[in-house]
Amino acid sequence: MTSITRRLFLSLAASLAPASAIAHHGWGGYDTSKSFTVTGKILKSAFENPHCEIEMEVEGKHWHFVLAPPSRMLARGATADLIAPGKTCTVFGYPHTSKPDEARIEYIVLDGKRIELR
């Protein structure tokens, strides 16, 4: 790369960097230093694009857990009936940096089986 191209590229990269800090999707918007594991009963679930979601009440707190897209869920064996309301599920994930009731889930444990979602 010529130096002007490199400088352009670097300044563009720098100007876009803050976007990752406020990311909603992807993993940038979630605080990986505050990972947690909880187990609870699924209250609501949506097996939908762009991301599957489940809602759980844990110790009086109502959570929205963002899972993987349906195609990846199916590829890893997490079918819709496994995350249906009423099922017990363990999730390991990271809380959103600005939405206190949302977390992105790295893996779930269903019927003793761990399923990676990342």
Partner 1 sequence: MEHQAAPSIFLTLQESALGHVMRSSPSLYPAVEILHIIGFVVLVGSILALDLRLLGLGRAIAIPPMAQLLLPLSRAGFLLAISMGFLLFSADASHVVKNPAFQAKLLLIAAALANVVIAHSGPWRHVESWHDKAPGAAKATALISLVLWLCAICAGRLIAYL
Q: Pick the closer one to partner 1 by CB: 50 or 112.
A: 50
Show Cβ contacts of residue 78 under 8 Å, excluding neighbours closer than 6 positions: 67, 68, 108, 110, 115, 117
Q: Pick the closer one to partner 1 by CB: 41 or 85.
A: 85
Shortest Cβ 91–partner 1 spacing (Å): 21
Shortest Cβ 46–partner 1 spacing (Å): 8
The two three-digit tokens of residue 99, written as one number:
């939405």
* Contact in structure between 44 and 62 (CB atoms under 8 Å): no
Q: Cite the beta strand spans of 1-118 per DSSP E.
A: 36-46, 53-58, 61-66, 88-95, 102-110, 113-116
Shortest Cβ 75–partner 1 spacing (Å): 9
Binding positions for partner 1, rule: CB under 8 A: 16, 19-20, 22-26, 28-29, 47-50, 69-71, 73-74
Q: Pick the closer one to partner 1 by CB: 1 or 17.
A: 17
Shortest Cβ 79–partner 1 spacing (Å): 10
Q: What is the spatial distance between Cα 13 and Cα 3, in angstroms, rounded to a whole number?
A: 15
